[in-house]
Amino acid sequence: MDPLDDAGLLDSLANAEPEYAPGAGMGEHALTYGHLIDGVLRAAAGTTLGAVFREVVGPALGLDAWFGVPEHALARVADVEYARPDWPRAQPAADWLAVPDGPLDPALVNSEAWRGSVFGAVSLHASATGLAGFLDGITDEDGPLRALLGREAHEEYLAPQATGYDEVFGTELTWTLGFLRDDAKIAKGGIGGSAVWRSLRHGHSCAYLTRRLDDHSRAAAIAAALSDDLSVVPVHSARA
């Protein structure tokens, strides 16, 4: 299936049989969870994920980030490359990153078609400063996300939602509505070694973004220099 065929992917997801009975298993929805959110927005609110981000979330939070990079910013986008030829298949989560085929292919990801797309899980283009600022903003009890969502929804957004053995990552994890969390941090790993985290102990946020797709050892070294521990972020985490 063409990964840029939004309608086809939405139809495929709507008709898919679940791999687990509800509540019987847990695992990160790696590549197409953004399409599920987009489908809900289309059906319930008559809008799209891209429109909500462009018209509401981005302006409210002042993010240096885009779904659909505008022409004037295309020169800022770095081409991605594999650290080694076998990188896609060498990841422990490779099976969950293979459907649909394409989002790990540099020929697609480096194209203007991809950079102009809204592939909710993996096509956000952002700077490291922008993502670190996003974590600062969403965890601020007096910040713009609290003003946008209201107190109750904001607290629910950051609260632990599920703890258990994650079948994708092969380890025990605690998930919020989109982030990994423990007593020390709120964090998310990105494909190829990128990571963003908010230290709940030290009060700072940090993001490491890379165009060279490899493991998370580089982000872990930065975290260690800041006396942070990124062990909550699995080494093969699945999004950029």
122/90: higher pLDDT? 122
Strand ranges, E, within the chain: 65-66, 81-82, 125-126, 162-166, 171-175, 180-181, 185-189, 195-199, 205-208, 212-213
Q: Which pTM was predicted? A: 0.90
pLDDT score recorded for residue 208: 96
DSSP designation for 18: P
pLDDT score recorded for residue 240: 35
User: pLDDT tens digits, residue range 37-93?
Assistant: 999 999 999 999 999 999 999 898 888 999 999 999 999 999 999 999 988 888 777
Residue 94 pLDDT class (50, 70, 90 cuts): confident
- At which residue do the structure tokens 């899980």 appear? 121
pLDDT score recorded for residue 88: 86
CA angle 57, 173, 157 (to 5 degrees): 25
Considering only CA atoms, give the Rg of the chain. 17
Chain length of the chain: 240
β-strand pairing of 81-82 with 212-213? parallel
> Residue 140 and residue 167: Cα distance in Å, rounded?
32
**Domain spanning 6-225, CATH architecture:** 3-Layer(aba) Sandwich (3.40)
pLDDT score recorded for residue 238: 37
Beta-carbon neighbour count of residue 143 at 10 Å? Answer: 15
- Per domain, the residue ranges of the chain are 6-225
> Residue 176 and residue 174: Cα distance in Å, rounded?
7
